[in-house]
């Protein structure tokens, strides 16, 4: 029988460490629900000690998820581990994930600890964690650049203390597939009690080899857990992409001879949701989830596909959840049809008032746009979820621009309890609108990125705008959607300001000392 590979998703923790990808509690819960539908084995919901906001988000995910193990990251110290355990209280199945760096460079420069001190700290922390949970993961941060003798001693010791999963990260994406696979294999051979824990791989994508390295860790090294994120989201060049791992294991089962429990038909919905919430657009040529992943432009390919799909396709688009953009609803659709479509998309709306509010948004959009697609509904629900308790809220916009003239824009929005309006000029209508908002909000934030993406095809599509702002060492992304891209831009800017305004979102960096 084929071995099972555990899929550990860290979109909500390591993925969130991408600049600007920080998510609110509600956004994390929405993504966690989708990860549960995807049937991931473990959901790493965050890093409880990093901020009050993240603690609350992990607690909410722990309460919402029933079928996956919910996990929190913690530095290897009693305070962080207690915080992780407290955040996971409501979880049906919980995992505490403690990490400590073991490479010479990290120990000397970052931790300022001797190898013996690191060994003792690792043992102490796992002993402590074992009193709070049964399922304990230990990660040797920068494990791949660690000395194998020392790392073997640490791993043996933490397994003795009760660690049930041992994760060997390639924190900086330095590994190559064969070398990484051999490293994991050598470690497993050296550690006398290696069979008492599940071995896990966690690879970053700095050299574009994260997926290949993870698969080698499994195939050559004998690891049985892969840590990954939707769309490969993550710090710098990102993490191992879940969708590529899952489809590699499935498509090349002849070679890997391994199975995982993922429901692949939920991959594309998960990819779209993460992209919409974080504002990280998926590149068109991205494997499995890119818009072009199953598109055939060349005549020779099209001809081949028509004769026999397998001439140029190794996977089927429908197997990973691509549905040809179907028109789901329109102006005449009623509340029940809308509610049913939400259910089919796996979106739960608990309160009747929230459903009514979302339906009103749907009707307003259907007045502007004849055809409403699944992506539009997801965007409506993102907007509805965002509105609760937000400080800034878009109301309306009017703008005037004529060729050769400097455009003017007037934006009305809610700021706290007050409705405010402001007018400004700019280089273009978008610039004028953001200037008008800034005139009143006076955030002083630096704009790092502005991007527009059509969420479906054609000029009928809603524009999805991402604005990335930086202020006081924090970087946030705001996302806004609207058939009018100038309004979408104003919404995105206000959404980014809301994130800057929320102090509970200010996070401690996961790479800090224990
Ligand atoms: O990349 C890394 O080393 C990590 C650990 C904290 C698991 O994300
Ligand atoms: Zn990482």
What is the tens place of the pLDDT at every residue in 494-508?
999 999 988 666 666
Tell how far the Cα of 8 is from the centroid of ligand 2, in angstroms: 12
Tell how far the Cα of 139 is from the centroid of ligand 1, in angstroms: 7
The helix (H) or strand (E) run that includes residue 148 is helix 148-161
Q: Is the pLDDT of residue 325 over 50?
A: no
Instruction: Output the pLDDT for position 322.
Output: 87
Average pLDDT over residues 301-311: 78
- Please name the residue whose Cα sits nearest to atom 1 of ligand 1: 171
Tell which phi-psi region holds residue 230, choosing left (phi > 0), alpha (psi between -120 and 50) or beta. beta
Tell how far the Cα of 359 is from the centroid of ligand 2, in angstroms: 39
Tell how far the Cα of 353 is from the centroid of ligand 2, in angstroms: 40
Q: What is the pLDDT of residues 133-181, one digit of tens each?
A: 999 999 999 999 999 999 999 999 999 999 999 999 999 999 999 999 9
C-alpha torsion sign, points 152, 156, 157, 163: positive
Q: What is the pLDDT of residues 476-493, one digit of tens each?
A: 999 999 999 999 999 999
Does the pTM of the predicted model rise above 0.85?
yes
Q: What is the pLDDT of residues 410-461, one digit of tens each?
A: 999 999 999 999 999 999 999 999 999 999 999 999 999 999 988 877 888 8
Please name every residue paired with 200 in a beta bridge, in sequence order, or none if there are none. Answer: 167, 225
Contact at 8 Å (CB) between 293 and 348? no
- Please name the residue whose Cα sits nearest to atom 5 of ligand 1: 141
Cα radius of gyration (the chain): 24
Q: For ligand 1, what atom is nearest to the CA of residue 13? A: 8
Q: Where are the domains of the chain?
A: 3-278, 294-324, 337-514
Mutational pocket test of ligand 1: of 110, 141, 172, the residue with most ligand atoms within 8 Å of the beta carbon: 141
- Please name the residue whose Cα sits nearest to atom 8 of ligand 1: 14
Instruction: Output the pLDDT for position 504.
Output: 66
Contact at 8 Å (CB) between 336 and 292? no
More confident residue, 210 or 331: 210
H helix count then E strand count, the chain: 17, 16
Closest ligand to Cα 47: 1
- Please name the residue whose Cα sits nearest to atom 2 of ligand 1: 171
Instruction: Output the pLDDT for position 8.
Output: 98
CATH superfamily of 3-278: Aldolase class I (3.20.20.70)
Tell how far the Cα of 440 is from the centroid of ligand 1, in angstroms: 41
Alpha-carbon torsion angle 165, 95, 47, 128, nearest 10: -80
Residue whose token pair is 């995105």 = 492
Q: Is the pLDDT of residue 303 over 80?
A: no
Q: Order of strands, edge to edge, in the sheet holding 392-400?
A: 392-400, 408-415, 418-425
What is the architecture of the domain spanning 337-514? 2-Layer Sandwich (3.30)
Burial of 506: CB neighbours in 10 Å, binned 0-12, 13-18, 19+: middle
Contact at 8 Å (CB) between 511 and 53? no
Contact at 8 Å (CB) between 126 and 164? no
458-468 burial: b if 16+ Cβ within 10 Å, else e: eeebbbbbbbb
Q: What are phi and psi of 451, to 5 degrees?
A: -145, 145
Closest ligand to Cα 239: 2
CA distance 129 to 198: 17
Instruction: Output the pLDDT for position 36.
Output: 97
Q: How many CB atoms lie within 10 A of CB 90?
A: 15
**Angle in degrees, 0-180, between the axes of helices 267-278 and 242-251, rounded to the nearest 10:** 170
Q: What is the pLDDT of residues 29-74, one digit of tens each?
A: 999 999 999 999 999 999 999 999 999 999 999 999 999 999 999 9
Task: List pocket residues of ligand 1, CB cut-off 6 Å.
Answer: 14, 99, 139, 141, 169, 171, 202, 204, 510
DSSP state of 485: H
């Amino acid at each position: 029988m084929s071995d099972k590979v555990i899929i550990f998703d860290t979109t909500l923790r390591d993925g969130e460490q991408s600049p600007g990808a920080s998510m609110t509690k509600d956004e994390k819960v929405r993504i966690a629900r989708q990860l549960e539908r995807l049937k991931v084995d473990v959901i790493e919901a965050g890093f409880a000690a990093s901020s009050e906001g993240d603690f609350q988000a992990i607690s909410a995910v722990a309460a919402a998820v029933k079928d996956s193990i919910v996990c929190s990251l913690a530095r290897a110290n009693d305070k962080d581990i207690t915080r992780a355990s407290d955040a996971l209280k409501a979880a049906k199945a919980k995992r505490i994930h403690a990490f400590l760096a073991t490479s010479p460079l990290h120990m000397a420069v970052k931790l300022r600890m001797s190898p013996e001190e690191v060994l003792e700290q690792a043992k102490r922390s796992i002993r402590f964690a074992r009193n709070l949970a049964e399922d304990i993961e230990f990660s040797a941060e920068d494990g791949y650049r660690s000395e194998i003798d020392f790392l073997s001693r640490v791993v043996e010791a933490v397994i003795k203390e009760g660690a049930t999963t041992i994760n060997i990260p390639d924190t900086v994406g330095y590994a190559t597939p064969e070398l990484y696979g051999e490293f994991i294999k050598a470690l497993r051979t050296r550690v006398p009690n290696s069979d008492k824990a599940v071995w896990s791989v966690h690879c970053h994508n700095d050299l574009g080899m994260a997926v290949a390295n993870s698969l080698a860790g499994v195939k050559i090294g004998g690891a049985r857990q892969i840590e990954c994120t939707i769309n490969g989201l993550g710090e710098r060049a990102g993490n191992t992409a879940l969708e590529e791992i899952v489809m590699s294991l499935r498509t090349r089962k002849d070679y890997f001879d391994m199975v995982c429990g993922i429901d692949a038909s939920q991959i594309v919905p998960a990819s779209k949701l993460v992209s919409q919430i974080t504002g990280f657009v998926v590149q068109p040529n991205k494997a499995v989830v890119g818009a072009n992943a199953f598109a055939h432009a060349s005549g020779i390919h099209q001809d081949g596909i028509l004769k026999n799909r397998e001439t140029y396709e190794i996977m089927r688009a429908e197997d990973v959840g691509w549905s040809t953009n179907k028109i789901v609803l329109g102006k005449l659709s009623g509340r029940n049809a809308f509610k049913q479509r939400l259910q089919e998309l796996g979106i739960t709306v608990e309160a009747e008032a929230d459903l009514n509010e979302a339906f009103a948004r749907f009707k307003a959009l259907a007045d502007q746009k004849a055809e409403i697609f699944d992506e539009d509904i997801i965007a409506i629900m993102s907007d509805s979820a965002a509105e609760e308790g937000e400080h800034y809220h878009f109301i309306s916009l009017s703008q005037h621009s004529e060729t050769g003239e400097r455009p003017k824009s007037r934006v009305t929005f809610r700021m706290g309890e007050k409705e405010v309006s402001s007018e400004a000029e700019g280089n273009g209508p978008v610039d004028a609108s953001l200037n008008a908002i800034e005139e009143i909000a006076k955030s002083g934030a630096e704009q790092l990125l502005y991007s527009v993406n059509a969420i479906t095809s054609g000029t009928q599509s809603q524009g999805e705008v991402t604005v990335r702002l930086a202020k006081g060492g924090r970087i946030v992304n705001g996302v806004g959607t609207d058939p009018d891209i100038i309004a979408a831009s104003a919404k995105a800017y206000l959404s980014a300001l809301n994130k800057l305004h929320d102090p509970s979102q200010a996070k401690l960096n996961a790479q800090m000392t224990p």
